[in-house]
């Protein structure tokens, strides 16, 4: 099996997991992963505990946010771009309406009584 290339952006305190790519408030990495790798595999490779990440985007589509993380089994493809924000890096809930989401995230949000929108998260 050949490897895939994934562009990863880490924001806020997560930038430290970018090691030499750490620019203080962000890190940008080009990562080579085995074909069939998932978001969970990416997090493991980066040594980021899932509880340390907040909002996550895959190719500009919302794939996870605090309390809703259906993307762990999402299979990454060559050329994908993943942005991972620290839980302290939140964006106001009112802006989330109409955001593009991965299919997995859309299904979970639709099933949630409050559409996954909260003023605070655990």
Q: Tell me the domain boundaries of the chain.
A: 3-111
Fold entry, domain 3-111: Ubiquitin-like (UB roll) (3.10.20)
| Beta carbons within 8 Å of 96's beta carbon, 6+ residues apart | 62, 65, 117
For residue 68, list its beta bridge partners: 65
List, in sequence order, every beta strand (DSSP E) within the chain: 3-11, 26-34, 56-58, 61-64, 81-85
Alpha helices in 16-114 (DSSP H): 39-46, 103-111
Token couple for 59: 């190719």
* Spans of the chain, pLDDT less than 70: 1, 90-98, 112-122
pTM of this prediction exceeds 0.85: no
pLDDT score at 98: 62
d(CA 82, CA 42): 10
pLDDT score at 112: 59
């Amino acid at each position: 099996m050949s490897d895939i290339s994934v562009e990863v952006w880490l924001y806020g305190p997560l930038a430290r997991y970018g090691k030499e790519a750490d620019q203080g408030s962000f890190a940008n990495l080009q990562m080579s992963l085995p074909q069939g790798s998932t978001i969970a595999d990416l997090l493991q490779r980066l040594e980021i505990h899932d509880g340390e990440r907040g909002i996550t985007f895959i190719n500009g589509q919302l794939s996870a946010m605090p309390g809703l993380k259906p993307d762990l089994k999402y299979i990454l493809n060559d050329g994908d771009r993943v942005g991972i924000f620290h839980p302290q890096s939140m964006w106001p809930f009112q802006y989330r309406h109409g955001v593009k989401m991965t299919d997995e995230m859309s299904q979970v949000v639709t099933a949630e009584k409050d559409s996954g929108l909260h003023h605070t998260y655990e």
